[in-house]
Structures are given as C-alpha cells and as structure tokens.
Structure 1
Amino acid sequence: MTIARMRERVTETVNEVSGGRRGRHTGRDIASYELLSRYREVLMGVSILLIMTFHYTEDLADLQGERFDGPARIFYSYIGSSGVDVILVLSGLGLYYSWKRLPDAAVFYRRRLARVLVPYLMVALPGWAWLDLVRDDAGVPRLLGDITFVTFFTDDVKWFWYVLISLVCYAMFPHVFSALDGACDHVSAWLRTLLMCGLCMQLVMMLDQYDPGLYDNVDIAVNRVPSFIVGCLVGKLSYERRRLSMKGVLAGLAIVVLLLYPLRMATTPVVQVLLRALLDFLGCICGIVLLSRLEASPSNGLRGIHDAVCRILGWFGRYSLELYLLHVLVRKVLNVTGHSAAFPQYEMVVVLAALMLSVPLNRLSKIIQRPLMEGRRPQAAS
C-alpha cells in the first residue's frame, strides 16, 4: 500500500468519526460538533450534578464498606468522577473559542486566573484556616502549604484539587492550541491530539513505575490531562462546525460499555479514567443531539421540554465552579467533624448549602474580578 493510499484510508476513517467537511445546521439539523458549544452550559450542569452524586456515593462506600451495593455502587463503579473529565473537555472547548476571538496571552491569563482564584480563595482560605489553625492546630506553614497545593504533592491532600488541574491546563493551553491550530487539516489535528494524549499517558505510567508514592498523590489530576487535550480538539472541530457522525458515537458508546462491563478492561487507573470519561462524554453527545431534535420539533410541548431542561441544567452549569467549591467545603467540614455526608440529612445540608450560597458567591466574586480582569486594582468602597 502506497503512502498516498494510507493517508486516504486515514482520512476516510477520520471523516466517519468527525463527519468530514464542515457543515452548518440546516433545516434537517445535521449533528455537528457545534452542538457542544451551543449546549456547553447545559453539559456543565450535567457534569456538576454527576460530581455531586459521585461524592455522595463515595461517602456511602466509605460508610457501608462491604455492604455497599445497588444503584449507588453501579454509579460509583461505572460513572465515578467522570463528570470532572467532561468539565475539562468543555473547558478546553471554551478556551479554544476564547483564544480564537482574542489571542492575547496577558488578557487570557488575567481573566482565567481571576475567574478561578477569586472564588477559590474566598471559599478555601476560611476552610483551610478552620481546619489547619483551629481544628488541627497545625500552624501557619501547614495552612500555606495547603492553600498553595504543596501538600497535594507531598501529603496526598486532595481538597479543592480541581482548581490545581485547571491552573495546569491553563498553562498548557497555548502550546496545545498552537499544535492543533497549526494542523494543515482535521486529520492532522486528530493525529496530533492522539500523539499528545499518548505522550501524557506514557509519562503518567513512567511516574507510576519510578515514583509510585508521588503518583498515588497526584493520580487524580494527571490521569485527566488527556481529557483537556481532547477538549481543545473538540473546540477546534466545533469552531469549524465539523459534522458529527452519530453512527460513530453510538458505535463508540457500545464499545466502551463492552470494555467496561463484560470484558472488565478498566484494570489500571489510567484506563479506568479513560473509559469512564468516554462513557460519560459520548452519553452527553447523545443527550444534546436529542435536545437539538426537541428544539427543532414542530410540537410546542416538545420545545417546551427542551427549554425547561436547558434552563434547569443551564443554571447548574452557570454556577458550576461555585457549586463545586461550596459542595466540597461543606462536605469536608461535616465529614471531619463526624457527620458523614452519607447520611441523607447531612447530604441535604451539603446540597442546600451549595445551592443557596453559589449565587451570592458568584456575585461577590464578580465585584472583585471585574477590576482584576480589566487590569485595574479594586477600589475601596466610599
């Protein structure tokens, strides 16, 4: 087989997955990667709800031990924390759009750091101060190590770890964008994505082999870097309005289910994270394609269902960062004080606290973020 023929075969394969030439939504509502951008807030809402559900099943597993069974165990085993992976995919998608609109590194980092660090410090600083200075009497050095994520690497402290992986992804993004945006066609973009993901997985496996202690501390974060890289590719495909093959999505979903359940291929943490992420992400694609069909329906009732679902899930997506920060804060406080969030009454406290405080936290954060994003110092109130 000649090189030209091999390239033609690769192109045909990728066209089947990505839908080939780019296409806009028409009256027939052709499935497109652009749907992921249109329903990004909805998918963020789904993902934060999955994360909150996972936290509950995790607490339930710790409480019940060998008696842990039923639907909660199925969710814990096969969905797990894959909502984080989908959020990282959507983060990569959003960053791609943002950089295409304004490729200014200074503005990019100022806005992203303000968006994440302001609410993080508003929630985590009092949380860590209570835990390190009041409850454990560990002192200021420990507080500084916790708030700056030093203890994430040294002592396996995973509270608020998602903020750290977000910062790492922000640092990586310009390089990932350059690799993908510089691809001559979408086939090359796919190949470059696979190469970057493969390299990341190889580095992770090397870390596991040569420093298993460090790997055990950081695996929750490093195993998810490929999800962000894939998200950047999805951003490119969405920005270019590439068509999406639902046959490929459904085939991929069937293969992942087969690998997860009958074949039980999730034998290592990296593979487990990958398969769960694929299951969640492909399921989300099916969900938004269904939503787009409801939106295009001539039935007022079906369009009403579409609007209601989007409003509800979109609200959760709009405040996903605040919900995450508050949820893990209240959950941790209850758990370390002996009030396990596995009990329904305490889980209700966790959920209600996150729901009620997320909007005020968001609004207060914006007051501080606005001058920071514009490059000005916050002014004292007169």
Structure 2
Amino acid sequence: MARAIWLVLDSLGIGGATDAADYGDAGADTFGHIADACAQHARGRLRIPNLTRLGLPQAHGLATGRAAAGFEEMPAAQALWGCMDERACGKDTPSGHWESAGVTLHEPFGLFAAVENSFPDALLAALVEQAGLPGVLGNCHASGTEIIARLGIEHIASGKPIVYTSADSVLQLAAHEEAFGLERLYEVCRIARVLLAPYNIGRVIARPFVGEGSDDFRRTGNRHDYALPPPRPTLLDAVCAHGGRVHAVGKISDIFAAQGVSRTLLASGHDALFDATLAAMEQAGEGDLVATNFVDFDSVYGHRRDALGYAAALEHFDARLPQLLAALRPGDLLVLSADHGCDPSWAGSDHTRERVPLLAFGPGFAPRALGRRDSFADLGQGLATHLGLPPLAEGHCFLTS
C-alpha cells in the first residue's frame, strides 16, 4: 500500500548553497548556527535524537563539510539522507515548495526592492480606491512583528491597514482582527492579488493580529496566503490525476494556490499541525499524499532571529516524531525537507539561500546516503516513483539514483 508523507520544516536550511554568495548569503547556515548557539549557551547542546537517527546532522555535514557543534560524533543514520541545492531563482517559500514538487521556477518572481516607499504609488492608489480604504501605513521593508508594534495603534485609530514587504516576492497586509475585521482584511488581500498581476509577485499575505497595545499585539493563526498558482502541473496534480488524494496540512494549500489539493486541514502551531498530520495519515489511502508545512520554524523563530527558540522548537518536533514514525504502515514513505534557510544568526530578517535536507524513511527502505542533489525536484520525482506515477518533467528519483 504505497502512501507518501512529506513534511516541510519551513526554513531549516543546512548551509552551503552553491550560489549563496550571489544572494549575499555566503556562510549562512541555519542548522549549524542554531547548534553553535546552543553549545555556547548554558542550556547545552541541541538534543534531537530522532532527527539524528534520520540523518539531519549527517546531511548538514555533507552540505557544509563541517560537523555542527555537539554532533562531532554521530551514529550511522537509519534512513536515506542527503542534501539538495535549489535551481530556482530566489529563496522564496513558493519556489522552494514548487521545485520540491517537480516544477522549477526558471524566471524569478518580481520584487519590491526599495527599502522605503517600497510599493509603486499607482498600485497603492488603486488598492485604496478599490478596497475603500482611508489610506495605508508602512510601505516599506519590515519585520512583521516590529511593524505591528510600531504602527498598530495608529492603524486602529485610522483604519489604515499596514502594508510591507521584504527581500522575498511578497506584499503583506497587517490589520487588527477586531478593529479592522478579519473578512475585510481577506477581501483587501484578494483585491491586492488581482492588482499585482503586472508585477509577478509570488504572494499576498494577510497578517491579522490582536491585542490592546504595542506591548501585547500578537499575530494570530488566521494568516492566509494568496499565492500565484504554479506555472505547470506539480506532483500534487499528478497524484490527483491518477486517482490519489492530496491531504494539505497547514499552509500547503495556500502555497500551491489550492492547485492539486483534495482536502485542506488548517492548523496553527506545531502541535496542532502534528496532530492534523496524524489525522490525515489515519484517513489517507492507497496512492495518497499527505503534505505538511511546519511554518513556525520560519515565521516565529527564523525571521525573528531567535536561535534558542528555534532550537527548542526543533527539540519539541523531534520529541513528537516517534508518534508519526509509529503511525507509518507497510508501503509508506516519509520524507522530511525544507524550502529555504532563515539563519537566526544572520543580519536582517529575510530568508537565506541554503541547501536543505532530504531525509526519507519507511518500512522496508534500507538506509543509505543520497549525496548532494542538484535540484529540489529530486524529492518530487522520488515521491512520484514511490506512488507509481509517471515520471515528472524534472528531477532525478532519489530512490533509484
């Protein structure tokens, strides 16, 4: 009974991207620098025994040529393990996921590069007019939590949503769930998605928040991404075309613009995402794919440059892994990967261009090294082979080569 479970540890780069210097990220190493921070802190080394057995530190060593602090001596991995370079231009969430599902973005998304006054006047004027807004605040590159703390009170008083961007291809709109209204925020984002068509921007993200003041404003789990659809059919489409179902957990459906998604299981926070994944596995049948994105690694810890928080989240994820491993059935294949890096030791708050892990485990699969793969698409090709699908247009199957 062939089924596939794909877990994306969002932003868990393992350093060493071949072209990192082209992005200003030479030396970035999300996993390695988290391990270094732990070893230098009173808390002690990073403790991830289950991910170690699956080959995560080994993949990091392959990617960087060095052992992460605390992992100088490791047992032999009990899974298939390796690392992957991204061929797509950029270091965005959609491009990383799409390439992993067999569609490489050969032309980069558009960007709003100016740090201040980031968005064109004509775009903002059209958004204000069509959404019936009194105006907007922000219009700059910013960290989401910082800009909410800085402009949240003015936003509530004025009714103007906060618009901001980053080095990624994104327009983000933040608004207070109660003062502005959640459904109204979503509608403004839908209008923005249409207006952005000439700019080739990958995502519009609704960033709702609650709280009474700058000291207690906090973003909620009602985030919603409005992404461009992949330019060609992905692994998800192939699964559905051949009679399987795709169970999309968390923001997977948003990332693929619901293309090739059979059912969506929304959840907020890693425990809830883990529970939803286990529930999806209970319901998944022959030929199905369960895909989950664990977003908090990126949004809560990577972008906020919180290395020790990231470490604690990894350790908690690791502690829950045995539940998922115990739920695997004969014929199942579990794959863990990432979509980009977000090094918490790096300057700024943007993603970092890094290699990512490729870890695969399932009953009946013999452990072995997979080497350095030159495309994330090898992951999708491997899952397609496992599920008995025709070959995807890109990638080399990691199960056979």
TM-score calculated relative to the size of structure 2: 0.23
Question: Which has the larger share of helix?
Answer: 1
TM-score calculated relative to the size of structure 1: 0.24
Question: Which has the larger share of strand?
Answer: 2
